Structure 1
Amino acid sequence: MAATRFELAGKRVFVAGHRGMVGSALVRRLVRENVALMTVPRSEVDLRDQAAVFAWFARAKPQVVFLAAAKVGGIVANNTLRAEFIYDNLAIATNVIHAAHVNGVEKLMFLGSSCIYPKLAAQPLREDAMLTGALEPTNEPYAIAKIAGIKMVEAYRSQYGADFINVMPTNLYGPGDNYHPEYSHVVAALIRRFHEAKRSDAAEVVVWGTGTPRREFLYVDDMADACLHLMKTFSAPELVNIGTGEDITIADFARVAAAAVGYRGRISFDPSRPDGTPRKLLDVSRLAALGWRATTPLEEGIRLAYQAFLRETGQG
């Protein structure tokens, strides 16, 4: 693992996926840097369209790329839209990474996801756990596409000497999240459900699963800050986990979310619904050694996420 200084100042920096939760957080963080920020709407360039991507890169010539574009969702979305999750994410990765190589991009960061580690890997999850066991069946198509992207980065780095790096964020939440009632991740789903229960004076909210799985949650603006830190200071073939290094049961998290929203009714659990991976906690010792730690406490982050939900859904 090597540490090296890469100057972002004055560079043309492309955020792929700038309208998503991750991409928009990167944009918020990058506006504090002396960079020429580049984004392109899907209506102009669909990242799944190879010809469109190649033409845009040849014309725009970005020097730095944050590859945050992806089709994402919670357990139901991953398990239902299996074809879209593998096709879209494979297409995005192959098109953007190869276009970056062909057009001489100086540095690229590919964002994976902690859910692509083996379902029963030892906890906390070390970076070298990838591909050491079976994947979680509900999100296998997404995981395979993301693993392919990671391996592409490694291949272009080893064959061509490209300064391409991989990072592996944990479960993220915050502004720009997807609040779809079925296809959202757990944080957004619970914020929405507790808010609706509060407004309707519902006596009970039923949370999917047993409540016993443990999850790690990172505020998305912290994630963006970690990405910039690594873009400036890290260059090596190894993955770097991005997380807090702390986890919480879904049951306890539900209580934190309910308190942030102001819901005071009963919380129960539906064990007929899938739990997913039993535990998912990242080993963040590599990230800590590189000089970065998360700073937003969970209670504060959920409060900020609820404010964002109210603002973004027009319910504030």
Structure 2
Amino acid sequence: MNASGPGDGSTGRPPRAAALAPGAAFAGVRIERLLARGSSATLYVAVEPRSTQRVALKVLDACDADADADADAACDDAVMSSFAREAQALQRLRHPSIVEVLGGGIEGAHPYLVMALLPGTDLRRYAAPARRLPEPLVLKLGADVADALAHAHAMGFVHRDLKPANLVFDAATRRVWITDFGVARALDAARTRTGVLLGTPAFMAPEQLAGGAPSAAGDVYALGVTLFQLLAGTLPYAGETMGALLRAMAQGATRALAELRPDLPPALADLLARALSREASQRPTAAEFALHLRRLPGTVV
């Protein structure tokens, strides 16, 4: 994504900040190269000068890109302070399947996180039927992610936006990492003021779509959707448009994994059906989800 030009004037939305150039200094690191640019954040490979360690630097837009009000409505001191506290808290979240947060805070008007630089690519590329990973490996990755979620939930953290794009997989080592823990939480105050739906609708639990607070059970639901997509090459709900998709989710019209993949163990289809239950209380905990996934026949340990 290229840097935006001036705001168009008709929407009142602020322009995107220009990307940092290679060699630029930001928050104590030196920019090496642009890695990716999304709708509300930019990811760089950077170098910590004293140690020469290469890290990932995530810089979030100073103001919500969808804000219709002035900048102060989305970027006040309380929001910035919340993000700084969250960045500090994330440094306590240590697990082999959660990307390590090395630092973070506010630089100028921009919230940022410095994280370990991970090998591999996110799991979106394996969500299409032609690129499906072997089923035993999918179950292994799912169990590792569920273990990481259980660790985070025990420490009071909820991801809020778990999906293939936020899971990095290294094929060489068969490791997986959850990324973007806490980013949605830290920016809640700014985004809820503008009426933006937090999270990705296709992966959000029914209670969250209905306006309920994100929860550990919602993370389990999102992992269920993710594993369904990795195994079936499609989402558990059909819908040509976002409106049709949301209606199908509201009605509980879940596609049956057993019909899409009759070759898979019935116990796996039953487990994912539990994870995708409309009632949060009917879903397994993340720890239970990991345990059941590892007990399925053929799972790679």
Give the TM-score normalised by structure 2: 0.31
More helix, by proportion: 1
Give the TM-score normalised by structure 1: 0.30
